[in-house]
Amino acid sequence: MEEPLTWTAIAIILKANGENEINIDFNYGYGELAKGKYRLVKKVSKAQKETRDDERMRYIYAEFEIE
């Protein structure tokens, strides 16, 4: 079984309702992506001092299509 593509990201602080854009080169781990629909899942967390432990972790989903 192949290992999933992973990377470490530095902390990015967003204000309420803020946005951030990242560029990901999938060629390294997957080669050229075929046409189709994809979903990217990113695990994020709030600063520990701002919230309870059970509220820290969240998953953000982004769907995209290659035509």
- Per-residue pLDDT, 36: 96
pTM for this structure? 0.58
Count the residues in the chain: 67
């951030």: which residue's tokens?
20
- All residue ranges of the chain with pLDDT < 70 are 1-5, 7-9, 47-55
- Per-residue pLDDT, 66: 92
- Rg (C-alpha) for the chain, rounded Å, is 15
- Per-residue pLDDT, 37: 96
7: burial class by Cβ within 10 Å (0-12, 13-18, 19+)? exposed
Q: Are strands 36-45 and 57-66 parallel, antiparallel or unpaired?
A: antiparallel
